[in-house]
Structure 1
Amino acid sequence: MITIKIKAFNELTTQELYNLLQLRSEVFVVEQNCVYQDIDFKDQKALHVIGYKNEKIVAYTRIFRPGDYFKLSSIGRVVVAKNQRQHKYGYDIMNASIIAIKKYFNTSEIKISAQCYLKKFYNNLEFFEVGEEYLEDGIPHIGMLYKK
């Protein structure tokens, strides 16, 4: 089981920021062998949904209010530490993110840019494909919507 904390950028401690950036880099840059600019000046606008296990960050997303990333609210940088994926924490962190969007942004319409190999995972969370597949940082992605 993970403990979820939601923080604005200016509420993150230096250690939390370092740890979440390290996790993002470990998965998105090293594991996926993708060179891209993770630090994109969007973290300052986001709310950070952080999953802790034994005081260590093992899951994370960042969420945006409508208009700050896409026209609709959005969830991005969805990540679970590789050695923790067998616990299905991706569902926990995504469900917490959906609830946070409803609570903090007063909307239930969410758009994401999903890596194509994760379509089934997002379908299980009631996100559905919109539009055509596209390449983002050399990785096939697809737009997906959630409305509930």
Structure 2
Amino acid sequence: MQVDFRWCKFQQLQLLELHSIFALRQQVFIVEQQSIYTDIDGQDPASWHLLLETADKVLLGYARLRADRALGCYKFERILLAEPARGTGLAGQLMQQLLDKAAQLGEYRLLKLSAQNHLQGFYAKWDFVAMGQEYDDGGILHRDMQRVL
């Protein structure tokens, strides 16, 4: 499967791309995982957006990278793959893209994410370490994880 990764700031996204992003996030997090939460949280305009697309521009994966100045870190958020892309190795490529972009931006060395409990092992492969207690986020147990570049 031929795919392309592309980084965009919010203002660079076309309306149909933004629609595809919100539709995929809704499909995965709200419909498939039945997690009722406020997906459009006001953080998208200040974030970098990673799009994983087929050659004909079908969105297969997505992640958001956001600088959190209050915590002095970058946050990896809304990391997902569409169902046809799961189990293909693209999740690892998505993570590598996130790590590379954070290193390129270079403002912070600390990286944080909120991992669904069943994905902690995946993120641990990328040197993320669980921190604190697990918590319910939209009906799904999560745990904060972090690592240093």
Q: Which residue of 1 aligns with 2:96?
A: 95
Q: Which residue of 2 aligns with 1:115?
A: 116
Q: 1-side partners of 2:96 and 2:63: how far apart?
A: 11
Query: Are positions 1:75 and 2:91 aligned together?
Result: no
Query: Are positions 1:6 and 2:7 aligned together?
Result: yes
Q: Which runs of 4+ in 1 moved over 2 A?
A: 105-108
Contact 1:2 1:89 in 2 (8 A): no
TM-score when scaled to structure 1? 0.93
Secondary structure at the counterpart of residue 77 of structure 1: strand
Q: 1-side partners of 2:117 and 2:105: how far apart?
A: 28
Shift of residue 105 of structure 1? 3.9
Q: 2-side partners of 1:5 and 1:83: how far apart?
A: 19
Q: 2-side partners of 1:65 and 1:39: how far apart?
A: 17
TM-score when scaled to structure 2? 0.92
Shift of residue 89 of structure 1? 1.2
Would you say how many aligned residue pairs link Structure 1 and Structure 2? 147
Residues 43-58 of structure 1 mapped to structure 2, 5 A cutoff: 43-54=44-55, 55-58=57-60
Question: What is the alpha-carbon root mean square deviation over aligned residues?
Answer: 1.4
Shift of residue 66 of structure 1? 3.4
Q: 1-side partners of 2:92 and 2:104: how far apart?
A: 18
The unaligned stretches of length 5 or more in structure 2 are: none
Q: Which residue of 2 aligns with 1:17?
A: 18
Q: Which residue of 2 aligns with 1:65?
A: 67
